[in-house]
């Protein structure tokens, strides 16, 4: 059995909207054994830990009322690529519907 390896991990955290949210998330992460906090900002956190620590960190932050999940490196690259190609940071179902409606009303190019 190989020992667990600690690595840089990124968390996406929904529901953060103020400095007090950053403090809540930071406090939650501090309480998780084996997690080293690299940074916490609105909507995300970067930590050093193994997979078990990352799972525990997500659970701890979720217990504070935030929707939390790990962003794997390939997901991050895909997300970054979409941002660069579309100029958008994220698209909700509502924004997707609005974009479709806008396309319907746009004049067609010939």
Nearest one of 64, 6, 74, 10 to 38, comparing CA atoms: 10
For the stretch 43-75, pLDDT in tens is 999 999 999 999 999 999 999 999 999 998 764
8 DSSP assignment: E
Q: Is residue 71 part of a domain?
A: yes
Q: Is residue 95 part of a domain?
A: yes
Q: Is residue 65 part of a domain?
A: yes
The percentage of residues in the chain with a pLDDT greater than 90, rounded to a whole number, is 59
Q: Is residue 110 part of a domain?
A: no
State the CB neighbour count (10 A cutoff) for residue 31. 13
Q: Which two tokens stand for residue 54?
A: 């990352």
pLDDT of residue 89: 45
Q: Output the domain CATH number for residue 74.
A: 3.30.70.100
Q: How many domains does the chain have?
A: 1
Domain of residue 93, residue span: 7-105
């Amino acid at each position: 059995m190989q020992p667990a390896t600690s690595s840089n991990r990124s968390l996406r955290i929904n529901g953060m909207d103020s400095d007090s949210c950053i403090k809540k998330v930071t406090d939650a992460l501090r309480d998780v054994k084996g997690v080293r906090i690299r940074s916490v900002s609105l909507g995300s956190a970067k930590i050093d830990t193994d997979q078990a620590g990352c799972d525990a960190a997500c659970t701890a932050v979720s217990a504070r009322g935030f929707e939390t999940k790990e962003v794997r490196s390939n997901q991050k690259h895909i997300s970054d690529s979409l941002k660069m190609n579309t100029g958008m940071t994220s698209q909700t179902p509502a924004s997707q519907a609005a974009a479709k409606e806008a396309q319907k009303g746009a004049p067609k190019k010939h």
